[in-house]
């Protein structure tokens, strides 16, 4: 009887050991999970599709891209847990929007970014100096109407000496009311950012963010003046603050910082090579 008891105990021990071994193997295999990214119209959906999605799929994720028509819904959807991350905005916009709406969202990682440009279908100019020579008093210029990006557009114009801003204001919060001098007589018209490319048929000039220019089929190279982005104006991937240390957030960041991501960004067949790179990217890959 003892012999049979010992044999049964041995068999049970073997089964238990194999069961543990099987469980251990299962934990090493990537767990399939769906990740949904929110984007606005333009190139960032393609950046996810070609440079980020393949790396996440290797880690066991399925990736969906949800496009929103404006710069408002992607952050609301993220905060409401309708999506897992978004990629369309810079840090300043995220922080201002989150503070205004009471959202708890955070930057995960910066990405290569297309800057604003001054575009025209009515004025033939290739440089800021040529533009200033061609502008007529009363020429209308459209720009984004959200507080963060109208301030950015006005700083862009001031940097190129098309206007000056009052010295007593916080330029990060500037509006058209804060223009000090307007020597070329420009008529400033704030418009919803997504509509800016359409205004080019009826106004002299428009300051169009890079994603909306690309979405409308306007080459960045056709801008009369292109914005040189400061680090805080380069776009980011955002997640809920509570999720910053979760595995999916770490995996997204790891993919963005990977060599596979870099190869897609630098590939001549994609538009991303002309984008302005964040500092971490330039330092890691020794590019400008």
Question: Does one domain contain both 97 and 142?
Answer: no
What SS3 class is residue 58?
A: helix
Question: Does one domain contain both 101 and 242?
Answer: yes
pLDDT at 88 over 50: yes
What would the pLDDT profile of 97-151 be if each residue is shown by its tens digit? 999 999 999 999 999 999 999 999 999 999 999 999 999 999 999 999 999 999 9
User: What confidence category does residue 25 fall into, taking pLDDT thresholds of 50, 70 and 90?
Assistant: very low
Identify the domain boundary among 228, 254, 274.
228
CATH of the domain at 214: 3.40.190.10
Q: Is residue 205 assigned to a domain? A: yes
Q: How many CB atoms lie within 10 A of CB 234?
A: 20
State how far Cα 12 lies from the chain centre: 56
Rounded Cα gap, residues 253 and 237, in angstroms: 9
Which one has a higher pLDDT value, 3 or 232? Answer: 232
Question: Does one domain contain both 97 and 49?
Answer: yes
Q: Is residue 15 assigned to a domain? A: no
How much of the chain, in percent, has pLDDT values that exceed 70? Answer: 89
Calculated CA dihedral for residues 122, 174, 194, 131, nearest 10 degrees = 20
Q: How many CB atoms lie within 10 A of CB 247?
A: 11
pLDDT at 288: 85
Least confident residue range of 14-18, 179-183, 271-275: 14-18
CB-count burial class (<10 Å; 0-12, 13-18, 19+) for 273:
middle
Domain range for 158 is 117-228
Rounded Cα gap, residues 137 and 187, in angstroms: 8
Question: Does one domain contain both 208 and 245?
Answer: no
pTM over 0.75: yes
State which H helix or E strand residue 17 sits in.
Answer: helix 2-28
Rounded Cα gap, residues 85 and 97, in angstroms: 16
Identify the domain boundary among 228, 246, 264.
228
Question: Does one domain contain both 86 and 172?
Answer: no
User: What confidence category does residue 32 fall into, taking pLDDT thresholds of 50, 70 and 90?
Assistant: low
Q: Give the CA radius of gyration of the chain.
A: 25
Which residue is listed with tokens 């114009």? 157
Identify the domain boundary among 228, 255, 273.
228
If phi over 0 gives left and psi between -120 and 50 gives alpha, with beta otherwise, what is residue 190? beta
Question: What is the domain count for the chain?
Answer: 2
What would the pLDDT profile of 225-262 be if each residue is shown by its tens digit? 999 999 999 999 999 999 999 999 999 999 999 999 99
In this structure, are residues 235 and 85 in contact, taking their beta carbons and an 8 Å threshold?
A: no
What does residue 224 show for φ and ψ, rounded to 5 degrees? -70, -40
User: What confidence category does residue 17 fall into, taking pLDDT thresholds of 50, 70 and 90?
Assistant: very low
pLDDT at 22: 47
Question: What is the arithmetic mean of pLDDT over 21-37?
Answer: 61
pLDDT at 8 over 80: no
User: Mean pLDDT, the chain, as a whole number?
Assistant: 91
Question: Does one domain contain both 220 and 276?
Answer: no
How much of the chain, in percent, has pLDDT values that exceed 90? Answer: 89
In this structure, are residues 148 and 96 in contact, taking their beta carbons and an 8 Å threshold?
A: yes
Nearest to 157 by CA among 136, 173, 176, 137: 176
């Amino acid at each position: 009887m003892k012999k049979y008891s010992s044999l049964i105990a041995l068999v049970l021990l073997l089964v238990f050991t194999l069961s543990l071994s099987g469980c251990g193997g299962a934990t090493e295999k990537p767990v399939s999970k769906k990740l949904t990214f929110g984007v606005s119209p333009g190139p960032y959906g393609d950046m996810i599709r070609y440079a980020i999605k393949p790396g996440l799929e290797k880690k066991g994720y399925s990736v969906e891209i949800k496009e929103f028509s404006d710069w408002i819904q992607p952050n609301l959807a993220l905060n409401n847990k309708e999506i897992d991350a978004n990629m369309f905005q810079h840090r300043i916009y995220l922080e201002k929007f989150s503070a205004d709406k009471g959202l708890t969202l955070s930057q995960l990682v910066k990405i290569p970014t297309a800057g604003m440009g001054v575009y025209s279908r009515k004025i033939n100019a290739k440089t800021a100096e040529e533009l200033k020579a061609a502008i007529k008093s009363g020429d209308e210029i459209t720009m984004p109407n959200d507080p963060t990006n109208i301030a950015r557009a006005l700083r862009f114009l001031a940097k190129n000496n098309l206007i000056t801003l009052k010295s007593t204001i916080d330029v990060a919060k500037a509006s058209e009311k804060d223009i000090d001098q307007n020597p070329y007589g420009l008529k400033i018209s704030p418009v919803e950012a997504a509509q800016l490319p359409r205004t080019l048929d009826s106004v002299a000039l428009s300051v169009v963010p890079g994603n909306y220019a690309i979405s409308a089929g306007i080459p960045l190279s056709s801008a009369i003046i292109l914005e040189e982005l400061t680090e805080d104006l380069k776009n980011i991937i955002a997640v809920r603050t509570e999720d910053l240390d979760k595995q999916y957030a770490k995996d997204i960041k790891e993919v963005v910082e990977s060599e596979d991501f870099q190869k897609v960004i630098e590939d001549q067949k994609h538009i991303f090579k002309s984008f302005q790179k964040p500092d971490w990217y330039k330092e890691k890959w020794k590019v400008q």
